[in-house]
Structure 1
Amino acid sequence: MARCRTSAGRKYTYADYLTWPEEGRWEIVDGEAFDMTPGPGRLHQEVSMGLERQIAAFLEGKPCRMFHAPFDVVFLEKGKKADASRNVFQPDIFVTCNPERLTEQAMLGAPDFIIEILSPATASIDHVRKRRVYEKHGVREFWLVHPTDRTVLVYRLGANELFEFGGVHACDGLELEVSIFPGLVIDFGRAFPPTPKVVRETPPPYGSRSGKSRS
């Protein structure tokens, strides 16, 4: 699991985050700080780049913009400044249609679409705690990709401003549309490397011996 930075009774904010050394990669979740190093592995990166290429191609010439980690998203609490935020994430991939919320360092407020690609160290944070923050702040669509299981979980914001579960989808051969961006169909076959072929050898009949027979 990601290493947690603790101080008795302390809740960290974006103001604290901005004072930390740049060599670390930290996220703040409900005031708790998590060290997200080491970085993601090869499969995580391959899947991320495969998804990014398709999203970027679709968005070319459109007002919405895509970003990827490491780029901060600061979730704002009503009536409070960004420095007071207790939720500062670096989603693997996100799309915003509100470019006026972008600064040189961060996105201030919730993106429209987020993809998180699970890593063993961050799975529980991504799947439970960050998902709750995304729902609370009105992320319109959230995909959670499991690169080793080759599945994607889909959540879409409903009329009641709560996430509706859109199912677990096997990624092999899957083409899935991002519902908030009609026409953006993600071909997971272009994001995932081919499934390795499994070679199964038929065992010899019971009682048979390999090699030369005994005279």
Structure 2
Amino acid sequence: MGLALRDTQTHCYGDYLTWPDDVRYELIDGIAYVMAPTPDLAHQDIAGEIYLQAANILAGKPCRAFIAPVDVRLPKQDETDEHIDTVVQPDVIVVCDSNKLDRRGIRGAPDWIVEVLSPSTASHDQTKKRALYELHGVCEYWLVHPIDRVVTVYCLIDGEYGKPDIYELRGETQVKVLPDIVIQWDELLERLPVDY
């Protein structure tokens, strides 16, 4: 199931900034996708825990962790912000280049992105966003599957995501491009509802 479109026009970040805040959108190649309604509590718990662990590990270091909603603007070349046609809001983001940070969020590819899959966004995250992050040079992309209790890890090698590694959500999983970050799963999984 794909995400709903705002309309059939193409847009840029200049348009995006004028839209009301009561509905969230992501722009991919000028197409405005309506973000899913507020995620459920388990989704938020997983994203929050990954962010918390990463932020604690990175305290005092050059890399910084962020949690949605934060605009990640992905320019195709050197166009001004208002003309950028791709703006996404990943669940968890780590950026190591402080030159990519400004008052509006992040401009350029983060080093690590995590998306926690929901039934309404899974297809979008696994296809459109995977291709988008690969194209823009996101070094490592995680797809956390709460229902299946696995994480799919894509690493950029020679400009491409090859075959992903898939790990069970148990024990720990190390971020390959940021080896200091090791996400611990067991305590988090004990908190999640059994029917999730």
Tell me the CA shift for residue 183 of structure 1.
2.6
| Structure 1 vs Structure 2 CA RMSD | 1.7
Tell me the CA shift for residue 174 of structure 1.
3.1
Q: Which amino acid letter does the alignment assign opposite residue 4 of structure 1?
A: L
Instruction: With the length of structure 1 as denominator, give the TM-score of the two structures.
Output: 0.84
* Residue equivalent to 1:161: 159
Q: Which sections of structure 1, spanning at least 5 residues, go unmatched? A: 199-215
Q: Which amino acid letter does the alignment assign opposite residue 140 of structure 1?
A: C
Tell me the CA shift for residue 195 of structure 1.
6.8
Q: Is the 8 A contact 1:51 1:191 kept in 2?
A: no
* Residue equivalent to 1:207: none
What's the secondary structure of 2:26's corresponding residue?
strand
CA displacement, residues 108-144 of structure 1 (integer Å, 9 cap, x when unaligned): 1110000000111111111100111100111000100
* Residue equivalent to 1:185: 182
Change in Cα spacing, 1:197 to 1:80, as seen in structure 2 (3 Å) is closer
Q: Which amino acid letter does the alignment assign opposite residue 164 of structure 1?
A: G
* Residue equivalent to 2:102: 103
What's the secondary structure of 1:39's corresponding residue?
coil
CA displacement, residues 133-170 of structure 1 (integer Å, 9 cap, x when unaligned): 10011100010001111110000010x21012332211
* Residue equivalent to 2:119: 120
* Residue equivalent to 2:29: 30
Instruction: With the length of structure 2 as denominator, give the TM-score of the two structures.
Output: 0.92
Between the aligned partners of 2:165 and 2:108, the Cα distance in structure 1 is: 26
Q: Which contiguous aligned blocks of 4+ residues in structure 1 show a shift greater than 2 angstroms?
A: 190-198
Matches within 5 A, 1:58-207: 58-158=57-157, 160-171=158-169, 173-194=170-191
Between the aligned partners of 1:61 and 1:148, the Cα distance in structure 2 is: 34
Matches within 5 A, 1:18-57: 18-57=17-56
Identity of aligned residues (%): 39
* Residue equivalent to 2:5: 4
Between the aligned partners of 1:133 and 1:83, the Cα distance in structure 2 is: 19
Q: Which sections of structure 2, spanning at least 5 residues, go unmatched? A: none
Q: Is the 8 A contact 1:74 1:89 kept in 2?
A: yes
What's the secondary structure of 1:5's corresponding residue?
coil
Change in Cα spacing, 1:182 to 1:78, as seen in structure 2 (3 Å) is same
Structure with greater Cα Rg: 1
CA displacement, residues 161-215 of structure 1 (integer Å, 9 cap, x when unaligned): 10123322111x23111111123211111333357679xxxxxxxxxxxxxxxxx
Q: Which amino acid letter does the alignment assign opposite residue 32 of structure 2?
A: A
Alignment coverage as a number of residue pairs: 194
Change in Cα spacing, 1:197 to 1:140, as seen in structure 2 (3 Å) is closer
Q: Is the 8 A contact 1:31 1:86 kept in 2?
A: yes
CA displacement, residues 1-58 of structure 1 (integer Å, 9 cap, x when unaligned): 4321123xx2211111111111111111222111114111011011111111210111
Between the aligned partners of 1:170 and 1:2, the Cα distance in structure 2 is: 27
Q: Is the 8 A contact 2:65 2:93 kept in 1?
A: yes
